[in-house]
Amino acid sequence: MRKEKIKPLVKGFLKHKLLKKFLPKRPTGGGGGGNTTNTRYCYTVWMRHLKNLSEFSNEVPKVVAEFGPGNSLGSGLAALLSGSDKIYGFDVVKYWDSDRNLRIFDELVELFKARTDIPNQTEFDKVNPILDDYKFPSHILTQEVLIKNLAPERIEAIRNEIKNIDNPDNKFIKFQIPWNNTSIVNKNSVDFIFSQAVLMHIYGLDETYEVMRDWLKPNGFMSHTIDLKCINTISIWNGHYTFSEWEWELITGGKNEMISRFPCSKHINLHHKHHFKILKQFVEKK
């Protein structure tokens, strides 16, 4: 373990905020979103959350909020094509652009028209939640529902909003960056909040759960996939817990950009503190 810790410590030192004062800045690529440039990834993420939601509600949520959409609004756009009336996207940086969102939206339309089965673990072996059945959810998205959702005039209206994403009068799509600067969401107005491998990057978890509680309707739902593994740091899945505070501060470059190291119990306790009822919990076995 001692040898494995050397590499991430050196990498952390080289990018530390103190050292950066004396080094020229290097260009960086877009961040945060991982595979959200992949349309089928966006499709499987949304459909998996929707499939799990269907165990407790047979209705597609009308108002949806996503934390950390990343490099595209693809998963939220899939929600609109499922029948949601409005999506909110919240992130710390605007990683996506309208051309990418348009390309993904048009490809999503074709996936829904074809009633495409949900891409499974063979295609996306690291994506959670894992489902028992990856068939297209015809019991929710019936032919009648799809005809309404995919009506040409509705598709064109959504495309126009994607092209004019900054228009404050948009009906279908709203976003806030940075998400915690000001709020565009009314209290008790959201039916469904979801996130995919995002909450483990948030250090102010208590405030985040408090905000989600305020946004969510009394009978609303949340669905979060939280990756508690050590990400791009050390080979052992829980190796990030072996670093001391000063070592972790060095590895993260003095910034809250990497995983927070909060355990699963932290999230569970915050659910209870903010009066959420946990209906289903899935833990991936190592």
Structural domains in the chain plus CATH codes:
6-17+39-273 (3.40.50)
Phi, psi at residue 247, to the nearest 5°? -65, -40
Joined tokens for residue 48: 């998996």
d(CA 14, CA 7): 11
Strands (E), 52-154: 63-67, 86-90
d(CA 184, CA 10): 41
Task: Tell me the per-residue pLDDT of 241-285, one tens digit each, with 9 for 90 and over.
Answer: 666 666 666 666 655 556 777 888 999 999 999 999 999 998 775
Which residue carries 């915050």 as its tokens? 270
Across the strands, what pairs with 66? 89, 194
- Residue 209: C-alpha distances to residues 192, 206, 236 (Å): 14, 5, 29
Strands (E), 150-254: 173-176, 190-196, 216-225
Global pTM reads 0.83
* 186, amino acid identity: N
Task: Tell me the per-residue pLDDT of 37-72, one tens digit each, with 9 for 90 and over.
Answer: 999 999 999 999 999 999 999 899 999 999 999 899
Phi, psi at residue 263, to the nearest 5°? -80, 170
Instruction: Give Cα 234 distance to the centre of its chain.
Output: 24
- The pLDDT of residue 22: 31
